[in-house]
Copies of this chain bind each other. A is one copy, B any other.
């Protein structure tokens, strides 16, 4: 037996070498980012020939820039210092618990941190991520709790006459409990897709952790693709590896909202759901808030819980001709006459959609329509949408 066997040691050494081959060789790895016990964070990059290395991310005090469209905040920049070819920066103060993203800038060239393979894609940009734990950020971590199943599943849309992909979260125990579960339909914003909430939004982790703590009802969460021109996320559809884009023309012209009962019917047919209004919620961020607003008022007997996160409050440009945008006030009146269990509006105080949301709330107030309002600092960013999800979920199905 032994004569024809390599030793495991040689095997492992070879695998290590070949792995380096397969993955294209690189420099020895540095520890970056290093999160210290006091929650300061050190970033490192080996770049002996670089003249200037910077790090930019949402943990650095933002800069204000002025454009013809107004004044905006963009992530700040910090300088790394070089020693023996390794550049380094440590945050001067501990970071608050949060999920952060960053990239390096080497002599003007934006690059990801090759020491940190954990990344997020947001539309056409990739950034590295890290989590400083504690407080709410512990919901964003994968903890040692029971985990739900996350399925990428295709459904046929009779209205759009195409197969389309969705992400479906079923809570831990779903497969064997025999119970029926309520369903949250959770919609992404412009430039997003069926992966956005589970990846950028950490929805899977938030659900696992809040369910495990008994803070929310176990529920099914359905994350659709709101771009009717795409059957799935960029790179995961038959369009191939085309560069991801923000798809303007066919996201807010009524088609997605009109075909939404296809989705609900598919889910009710394929999962053990509570098949009634009291077992359904719909929420979305930005464009997904717009979709949630219009879908919920178009189908007032479908959803008992509505969440508008930094919602775009507008019916297209007024040129989009869709039955779904007609008779806005009448439909809203009909929806509220049926007393939804929760109409929840959240927005950041510096969000460019703040004025439109304020005006919409005024309209609800003027008509005596009951809603719940949650205002956060900062603007139109994923940090806020993760926060809104953790605030919204405990209010559902109770």
Please report A residues at the B interface, Cβ cutoff 8 Å.
1-2, 4-27, 29, 31, 46-51, 56-57, 67, 69, 72-75, 101-103, 106-112, 114-119, 121-127, 129-131, 141-144, 146-147, 149-154, 163, 165, 172, 175-176, 189-191, 232, 234-238, 240-241, 243-244, 246, 248, 252, 270, 286-287, 312-318, 320, 328-329, 352-353, 356, 359-360, 362-363, 379-382
Q: List B contacts of A17 (CB < 8 A).
A: 67, 69, 72
CA distance A354 to B160 in the complex (A): 52
- Knowing A19-B122, A75-B21, say if A154 contacts B146 (CB, 8 Å): yes
- Selected contact of A314 from candidates B7, B165, B175, B287, CB within 8 Å: B7
CB distance from A297 to the nearest CB of B (A): 13
Q: Which residues of B contact A232 (CB under 8 A)?
A: 142
User: Residue on B with the closest CB to A143?
Assistant: B238
By the criterion CB–CB under 8 Å, are B110 and A27 in contact?
yes
Of all chain B residues, the one with the shortest Cβ separation from A363 is: B4
Q: CB < 8 Å: which of B50, B126, B286, B379 contacts A107?
A: B50
Instruction: Report copies per complex.
Output: 2
* Chain B residues in 8 Å Cβ range of A112: 111-112, 114, 126
Beta-carbon contact of A144 and B238 below 8 Å: yes
B117 engages A124 (CB within 8 Å): yes
Asked whether B153 lies within 8 Å of A5 as measured between CB atoms, the reply is: no
Tell me, in angstroms, the Cα distance from A13 to B29 when the chains sit together: 40
In the complex, residue of chain B having the shortest beta-carbon distance to the beta carbon of A2? B318
Say which residue of B103, B152, B318 sits within 8 Å of A7 (CB atoms): B318
A21 and B131 form a contact (CB under 8 A): no
Chain B residues whose C-beta falls within 8 Å of the C-beta of A29 in the assembled complex: 124, 243
The minimal Cβ–Cβ distance linking A215 to chain B, given in whole angstroms, is: 19
Closest to A236 in B: B142
Q: How far is the CB of A147 from chain B (nearest CB, A)?
A: 4
* A372 vs chain B, min Cβ distance (A): 20
The contact of A149 among B67, B152, B362, by CB within 8 Å, is: B152
Q: When the two chains form their complex, are residues B111 and A114 in contact, meaning their CB atoms are under 8 A apart?
A: yes
Contacts A21-B75, A75-B21, A106-B109 given; does A149 touch B151 at CB 8 Å: yes
Instruction: Please report the C-alpha to C-alpha distance between residue A22 and residue B1 in the assembled complex, in whole angstroms.
Output: 60
Partner of A109, one of B31, B49, B126, B314: B49
Q: Chain B residue with minimal CB distance to A49?
A: B107
Chosen A-B contacts, 24 in total, with CB atoms closer than 8 Å, are A1-B328, A5-B318, A7-B318, A8-B316, A13-B69, A14-B352, A14-B380, A15-B189, A17-B69, A18-B380, A19-B122, A21-B72, A24-B101, A106-B106, A109-B111, A117-B244, A119-B119, A119-B126, A141-B240, A142-B232, A142-B238, A144-B238, A147-B163, A151-B151
